[in-house]
Amino acid sequence: MEKITTKQIMESIKRNKWLILVPALVLGLGIFGTKVLNSDSYEAQAVLMVTSNDDEPISYNKLILNEKLANIYAQFLESEDLYERVSEKLDTNLESDDIEDKLEYEVNPQGGVISFSYKDRNENRARDSLTLITEEFRDYAKNYLNMENIEYLQNVVVKESSKTRGIVFSIIGLIVGALVGLLILLIKEIFSDKIEEADDIRQLGLEVLGDFSYDNKSELGKIRRKIINTSNKAVIGLSSINDKSYEANITKKLAESIEAPVVSSQGLDYRKVKKQILNYDVDKDYILVDEESLENSEAYDLAGLEDYKIIVAKKSTHKKDLIKQVRELERLGIKVLGVIYYK
């Protein structure tokens, strides 16, 4: 695990926008689809009230009784039989579970008030369903408790359902989805072992000679200045970490920048490479040796002919591989001038 800076986070967000956008869109649009597009369009509402059976003034004891009755009546709304009876009387294909799922109710025991809300895509069905529910509910009280003290405080009315709540939840879904994506991104960055930019190499304590993800000319100038300041005359080998896939024009352009010949080690044995270097050594200040990767033994054999090595590391190279190769070169007494990074 490693520490990451704000700059790294911002760069990572730029590189992995999809990782934030996809969870945000999936969650936000998913909620929007279920809560807004596919939600029931009409809402039927009704309010029932537990009343007294006589004309006597309301006393404290009656209020307590009505409160207890309201709690008892509320239990009827949990009865499966009630919804089965409603389903049988409705001229629809709705099952009892569907009817129960569409119903919301709230009991206010202190006031003896029970509020009902029923949502459906069909206006008439919403009205009929809630009317049957409230009537069956009143029948339950009459049949089981012999009580006829439940009256309508508000008759069944139907209006279009508000979409505001669904839209708000959709926005919240977008935000939560984006935060989930950001969390995944942070975890990915913290535990990632791959090089994504030149700064990742610098944080390993290695010198970046040039960053070829930007302007090549200025980066070549930096490498040239580093070489000149380090030595007036040198043989320098260029090796990649684990493959030879880096662009050949890096070696070519660097050679042009410091006016150096390039000796390619491909297909040549140690003696032939040495012979070419000695032929150039008389009249050239700098000679570049274009080598195979550091996984090839020839990179270490040729080190005896070289003054320095430059490591070429591409994007997505594993940090542990780069550190391992640098330490191995230093252990063998091979001087590493620095690292060239490219995408």
Q: Which residue has the higher pLDDT, 224 or 273?
A: 224
The CATH number corresponding to 42-160 among 1.20.1250.20, 3.30.1890.10, 3.40.50.300, 2.160.10.10 equals 3.30.1890.10
Sheet bearing 286-290, strands edge to edge: 208-211, 336-342, 308-314, 234-240, 286-290, 262-264
pTM beyond 0.75, yes or no:
no
Helix (H, G, I), strand (E, B) or coil at 113: strand
**What pLDDT score does 40 carry?**
56
- Chain mean pLDDT for the chain: 83
**What pLDDT score does 66 carry?**
66
The number of C-alpha atoms within 13 Å of 8 and in the hemisphere containing its C-beta is 20
pLDDT digits (tens, 9 = 90+) for 284-337: 889 998 887 888 888 888 888 899 999 998 888 888 889 999 999 999 999 999
d(CA 343, CA 339): 13
The CATH number corresponding to 195-342 among 3.40.50.12780, 3.40.50.10800, 3.40.50.300, 3.40.190.10 equals 3.40.50.300
Residue 206 binned pLDDT confidence (cut-offs 50, 70, 90): very high
**Domain residue spans in the chain?**
6-36+165-192, 42-160, 195-342
- Written as six digits, the tokens of 202 are 């610098």
Query: What is the residue-wise DSSP string for 165-188?
Result: HHHHHHHHHHHHHHHHHHHHHHHH
pLDDT digits (tens, 9 = 90+) for 232-274: 999 999 988 866 655 567 888 888 889 899 888 876 777 888 8
